[in-house]
A and B are shown apart, each in its own frame.
Chain A
């Protein structure tokens, strides 16, 4: 028991450090920086290279790595994060930082490869025994470093002028500017400082857990959960939340199963969000999430008229129907096209939820998993026909969506994003943990092809037309739906929930409906995915997939129905076409996402359509660059 708790506290110290970084950036900017966890990995990997490859002494290597990470963080923050703060609503900022996380992971993959790295402990392998409990020496380094980081941060913020400046920017950026404080510089500084804390945390923990390019995901998610438990923006909360999370995780791993340890952590998070959404230690000055997050302006008004829509639609359908004959039969390209289509169905659901209604979801793949596993298990173990299994998956997804949306009804913005993330992780951990039914981490094999009655869709060719037909029907349905009073109500909710409610729009009912539509589409996509691959493993429908779907949506153009298809195609086909460059896939994805946010806020389709419209109608469009957010005045 005691060794487990000690281990939990050590693990928790690291979560606490990541959480401190989150809290710092959140306090100064009001944005959760999802790339925070990646800085831990950068710090650790640089240390490895300096110490093991170049043979620097430990102290020098660590110092060099911390400085290097900080400089990198400052440059990255100054180039991407800070300039975007003035232009993007907070929900897009969250996605931008998700893009930064992907970017850094891609960069690490290119530089360090996909191998796990281990640092040697700073002071020998021999554990020390205290009152019968063996503690690895590295534990003292972790505990000591955490303590020092907390003390230094506390001193800096409460006792120095710099701290007052940072807090002034956090409290009231407009007034801070009037005092002569350089707000953008302070923001960059907080970003760099958070990167530094992350690096320190990553370096001290590296000797007890091996790290690889994508470990940043793990740190980010656990750090995020820790801040949420502790209270968004509270430093004490970050530390307490981190420690609680560490202990819970280790206890779950020790007494239940390490396969379920994520699940238990997520349940603690969900419980916190539902019972006390502001966390254990609410910050004195509560940020008004509703106001700050829902300033998402309609970036540009894109609306083709009826004749244009019909013309472009028919053109697109003809092109898509001809496509299978145009691609070389032997290549895997047709399969990639089918996958694009299947993923697009899921992203379409996300689009209704995020693009049209403004509800950020980081758990879309969770519904894919429900749909995929339900249909696959019913087909494999009970011999149900695929169509019935798919329907069953959709029913189960609808029930889950209903529960999730009712439970999270009060949550908005970042908290909703967190709750959906938690949902995705929970499903993920169930898929891994329920070995007997799902096949656990190694996946479920022998899934039959999709079929309707005696009509089987066993070839990519037939599957392509099935998916295309489905997409056409779905787009027509949604096109009608989004242009009806239903769609207008959703857009009203996106623009301003409170104002929408004042217009007698039943916000709760619409949100539940939208969640249901989104979940059903994801579920359908997940089922098709499983039937097409004849195989399903947790990592095919995990949280990275959720992030990828958001990326597809944003790159293509959120709030347009066709846009996400471009995003899905780009992210699925490019790596297929440029096989030799597979190593650069993650990096390219991250860069694309960040660039899209910075330069094409309406996505590829939005920009393309805007350009087309201006060309054909010569009407003036409201350009994103002309719409300034209210919050921006202060930056």
Chain B
């Protein structure tokens, strides 16, 4: 569905990501794991068109898209949920969602309303506060809204950048459940995450990015079990059994259980 061939990209003249190849197939969750500053966000921005690739090709459903505007890419079916609380803070939930369906506005207001109802079914919190201005929402609600807004464009591929950033463990597990269920309903997902443990647990496949290059790739669970990854990305703390290992493992177990149900 999405294919990156030899993508080099960065800010101004300085490349941050060097010659990367990546594939996302239909109905897959693909995880991008890497430390701070490895180039995850840069790569994701290049996919949605916020940044132009300096070299290489991006194919979406067989079509070259690397020179298209963000708008054209949304129309083709790529929705990017950016990192951090990138909602429209002074607007209401409903207005945020309407703007999410902005590219499809020619199809008429009714269809947008319809879509909004569907999307809100997944997010009861948003439904409750639909006419409230979102500026004083909590971090989790902002993230939910950002994802919901991404879904308004009825994407074929949802690109999520750090959805777990700054959220409580309960919320993180809720969001990861949601991501898994979206995949099960046919939306392909590209997930960029620092939380390697959780994101690899739900991923079909994963890529490890280091200093702008892919170092390892493979099936999500295999990556999770590989000693190399554990040491490098789950932190030395992971093997020593400190930091958040217990918490993460508990969530992972719960997630797996839920996904099996």
Question: Interface of A with B (CB < 8 Å)?
Answer: 161, 164-165, 167-168, 170-172, 174-182, 283-285, 626-628, 633
Contacts and interface: CB of A to CB of B under 8 A. Distances in A.
Contact of A179 (B11, B89, B99, B135): B99
A627 B14 CA distance: 10
Contact of B82 (A164, A174, A283): A174
Contacts of A164: 91, 95, 98-99
B174 to A, nearest CB: 22
B102 A165 contact: yes
Nearest to B159: A178
Interface stretch (B67-75, B195-203, B247-255): B67-75
Contacts of B103: 179-180
B89 A285 contact: yes
B241 interface: no
A76 B71 CA distance: 25
A180 B75 contact: yes
A627 B12 contact: yes
Given A180-B70, A285-B135, 7 more contacts: A161-B98, A168-B99, A172-B89, A178-B70, A181-B71, A182-B71, A633-B11
B154 interface: no
A626 B10 CA distance: 12
A234 to B, nearest CB: 11
A172 B71 contact: no
Contacts of A283: 90
Contacts of B74: 178-180
Nearest to B11: A628
Contacts of A284: 90, 133, 135
B12 A181 contact: no
A171 B91 CA distance: 8
Residue among A170, A172, A283, A627 with most chain B CB within 10 A = A172
Contacts of A177: 50, 70-71
Interface in B9-35: 11-13
Contacts of A178: 48, 50, 70, 74, 79-80, 82, 86
Interface in B59-77: 69-71, 74-75
B182 to A, nearest CB: 18
Contact of B88 (A171, A627, A628): A171
Interface of B: 11-13, 48, 50, 69-71, 74-75, 79-80, 82, 86-91, 95, 98-100, 102-103, 105, 133, 135, 149, 153
B76 to A, nearest CB: 11
A261 B1 CA distance: 69
A179 B135 CA distance: 19
B100 A179 contact: yes
10 contacts: A165-B99, A165-B102, A167-B95, A171-B89, A172-B86, A175-B82, A178-B50, A180-B103, A182-B69, A627-B12
Contact of A633 (B13, B50, B95): B50
A172 B99 CA distance: 12
A182 B13 CA distance: 24
B98 A175 contact: no
Contact of B50 (A172, A174, A181, A285): A174
Contacts of A626: 12-13
Candidate in A174, A175, A176, A182 with the most chain B CB atoms within 10 angstroms: A175
A588 to B, nearest CB: 33
A161 B48 contact: no
Nearest to A628: B12
- In the A-B complex, the 8 residue pairs with the smallest Cβ-Cβ separation, listed nearest first, are A180-B71, A180-B103, A285-B90, A171-B88, A180-B74, A175-B86, A179-B102, A179-B99
B90 A167 contact: yes
A172 B149 CA distance: 14
Contacts of B100: 179
Contacts of A628: 11-12
Nearest to B75: A180
A181 to B, nearest CB: 6
A626 B105 CA distance: 37
A161 B101 CA distance: 11
Contacts of B70: 177-178, 180
Contacts of B89: 171-172, 285
Contacts of A167: 88, 90-91, 95
A503 to B, nearest CB: 23
B193 to A, nearest CB: 19
A182 B48 CA distance: 14
A186 to B, nearest CB: 12
B261 to A, nearest CB: 33
Contacts of A171: 88-91
